[in-house]
Amino acid sequence: MPLNKSDKAFAYGPISVINPRQVPLERTLGSLILYLETGGRPLSPARKTITLRELMDHLQAQFDIREKGLPTLQRWLLSEFIEMEPGSRSLREASIAGGQPIHATAIKLQKGTTYSDFGSGLFVYSVLLQHDQVRRDLKDFFWTGLEESEDRKKLDIETLFFVQALDQAKVRTPKHLFEQPQIPQPYCRGGAALFANDVRRLLLYKDVVPRREFIRYLTALMGFHIALYYLRLLRAIPRLLDTGRSCDDYCRPNGLVPSCPFRHRLFVDASDDYKSRGAQLAQAEVDRVYGLVPAYLRAHLSIKKLAEFGEEWATLEQFGGPVPRTLPDVVKLRRHPQLPQWANHRTLNVLADDAVLKARYEEIKALTEDSFDRYVELIFPDVFRRQGRLLREALDAYAGKNKPYGFMRAGQGRRRRFAMSTGLLELLIQLAVVDYDEDTGHIFQRNLTVTELLDWLDQRYGLLIDRTAHGETGFDIERATRENLAHFKSTLRELGYFIGLSDASNVQYVTPRFELEGTTA
């Protein structure tokens, strides 16, 4: 499992391809489309961009639009199709940062220096690299109608307008850097396999779900799985540092990861009331997860510094040797005889002319005699203040805090809780009711009882509605789970997935909303 540094990321190598920042998930999908086109190569920073005025002039000439209709067209473009570069005084003269990812033609508008997704699109692309058929099917969907052909009839009117609008626009074909980057493999292979499996299931609906809705589904699915990936890392990286064993030693991915020791089981509030008993349990769940952040960041920082030591030590002529290429090899450097000398040298550089740090270091010396631990502990508080905030922002973004397709909400006092949005529930049900036979390739849809759906959410994603995962008992816990299940059923009924003629979950059926041709229920 190769390692490679990223100047934009705190992470080192495949521990976390994603930089902890809050980024619109639409950019993640937009970058993924670009990587599907370029094979993982980024855009050239020097790529020419187009301003809003240039695009409006082109559209006016191409479609013979009257002058009085231009303001309405511009508002429509800004709300539905394009994203502007921030910070410009004049909107008309501002550069376009990128296009909304409704079609592959949107990458013609992407500006490499502005349209940043902080590595999340590359992470999704690295997942799909291991699943060729899913990657090809996804590319076929976004490239439909790119050329003048009968395929254009498959596009809805909005997407067709977007494609034709950029047909003759003065934008360059995306230019990418010529060298092939080294794309890190996902650290959690089981989670990546589950992600790809869900994308495969979702692609079954590409011809029956309206295109805009399908893209919302896909965007929400990416954020959901990236958030679950992050949560697993919070446990996996400290274990890696302690034992030297990577996730590959624990995981045998088969699309489901119920045996993963780093898998979270999260109680999720199904109501809209932040004062409910279920909401209180879901808030405690978030607090429990955030309690893992300091240990994760400390372990992450330690591994990053061990990797720096390995690279620096390998460049010295008298001690030259191979640079560690895998995470277990990096962790083994913890026992290198020259590591204390390197750590002492780094510590002296940090302490130079800083009385506050020197006082802190004297306190640290009383706690441990290990030079490397002292060095990490000395620099950790500053790293934690910065990266702890960014990591929380990342979880907010990918878990969709207060979004229609998210599973996190922040109510009064900004306290967060895991909560099942109606959009995410609808998406997961669409995945749950469809399956396929691996041997024959036969696709089929099925009706699920509510009990089967609850078990499916637990086993596949660790989302708990009518149960808890930490052994809590008592009347209040039982009442909270019972009320949460009632809210969950009420949401299912409001969404139109079933009509419950009985209160028993094992005889209440959830039915597919979109029927697939050639399938059996």
Q: Count structural domains, the chain.
A: 2
Q: Which residues, other chains included, contact 285 with Cβ-Cβ below 8 Å and sequence gap of 6+?
A: 266, 267, 268, 417, 418
DSSP β-bridge partners for residue 51: 95
Average pLDDT over residues 469-488: 86
Burial 360-385 (b: 16+ CB within 10 A, else e): ebeebeeeeeebbbbbbbbebeebbe
**For position 319, what pLDDT does the model report?**
56
Same domain, residue pair 297 and 161: no
Range 290-296 average pLDDT: 93
pLDDT at position 173 over 80 = no
**The 3-state secondary structure of 179-193, one letter per residue:** CCCCCCCCCCHHHHH
CA angle centred on 267, ends 265 and 272, rounded to 5°: 150
205: number of CA atoms within 13 Å, CB side?
Answer: 28
So what's the pLDDT on residue 367?
87
Backbone angles phi, psi at 380, to 5 degrees: -65, -40
Does residue 263 register a pLDDT over 70?
A: yes
Task: Mark whether 152 and 300 lie in a shared domain.
Answer: no
In sequence order, the 6+-apart residues with CB closer than 8 A to the CB of 1 are: 13, 14, 184, 185, 187, 246, 248, 325, 326, 327
d(CA 462, CA 263): 7
Each residue's pLDDT tens digit, 427-449: 999 999 987 776 676 778 888 88
22 has pLDDT over 60: no
Neighbouring C-beta atoms of residue 298, cutoff 10 Å:
19
- Could you list the beta-strand ranges (E) of 413-499: 416-418, 434-436, 443-445, 448-449, 463-464
Tokens representing 474?
A: 């008592």
Highest mean pLDDT range out of 158-167, 307-316, 484-493?
Answer: 484-493
101 located within any domain: yes
**More confident: 232 or 319:** 232
Q: Does residue 445 fall inside a structural domain?
A: no
Let me know if residue 326 belongs to a domain.
Answer: yes
CA angle 94, 96, 102 (to 5 degrees): 155
Residue 59 and residue 179 in one domain: yes
* 353 within some domain: yes
- In a domain, residue 313? The reply is yes
43, 169: one domain: yes
- 177 and 49 in a single domain? The answer is yes
- Compute the half-sphere exposure of residue 11: CA atoms within 13 Å on the CB side of its CA: 26
Q: Domain range spanning residue 341?
A: 293-398
Mean pLDDT computed over every residue of the chain = 82
Which among 368, 364, 376 has a CA at the least distance from the CA of 339?
A: 376
**Same structural domain for residues 174 and 314?**
no
- Asked if residue 177 and residue 50 are part of one domain, the reply reads yes
Buried b (16+ CB within 10 A) or exposed e, 113-129: ebbbbbbbbbbbbbbbb
Percentage of the chain with pLDDT > 90? 28
Whole-angstrom distance, CA of residue 300 vs CA of residue 347:
18
Q: Are residues 36 and 178 in the same domain?
A: yes
Name the phi and psi angles at 83, rounded to 5: -120, 130
As a 3-state breakdown, the chain gives helix, strand, coil percent values, each rounded to 5, of: 55, 5, 40
Domain contains 175: yes
Residue 437 is inside which H or E element, if any? Answer: none
- Euclidean distance between CA atoms 451 and 5, whole angstroms: 46
Tell whether 504 is covered by a domain: no
Element (H, E) at 368: none
290: confidence class by pLDDT, cuts 50, 70, 90? very high
What is the per-residue pLDDT for 243?
A: 87
pLDDT number for residue 220: 94
Residue 65 host element (H or E)? none
SS3 448: strand
> Is residue 315 domain-shared with residue 177, that is, in the same domain?
no
Q: Is the pLDDT of residue 143 over 70?
A: yes
Instruction: Give the burial string for 402-428 (b: 16+ CB within 10 Å, else e).
Output: ebebbbbbbbeeeebbbbbbebbbbbb
Q: Domain boundary residue among 336, 368, 398?
A: 398
pLDDT of residue 174: 60
Q: What integer pLDDT is reported at residue 519 of this predicted model?
A: 53
Region of residue 518 (left: phi > 0; alpha: psi -120 to 50; beta: else): left
End position of a domain, from candidates 398, 426, 460: 398
pLDDT at 342 over 60: yes
- Better-scored residue on pLDDT, 86 or 244: 244
Whether 177 and 304 map to the same domain: the answer is no
pLDDT value at position 177?
Answer: 58
- Written as one string, the DSSP assignment of 110-129 is --TTT---TTHHHHHHHHHT
Residue 137, Cβ density class (10 Å: 0-12 exposed, 13-18 middle, ≥19 buried): middle
Tell me whether residue 329 is in a domain: yes
Using CB atoms within 10 Å of the CB of residue 14, give its burial: 0 to 12 exposed, 13 to 18 middle, 19+ buried.
buried
Mark which of 183, 216, 238 sits at the end of a domain: 183
pLDDT in tens, 377-420: 999 998 898 888 888 888 888 999 989 999 999 876 668 999 99
What's residue 87's pLDDT?
65
Strand 448-449 versus strand 509-510 pairing type:
antiparallel
pLDDT in tens, 40-64: 887 766 556 778 888 888 888 877 7
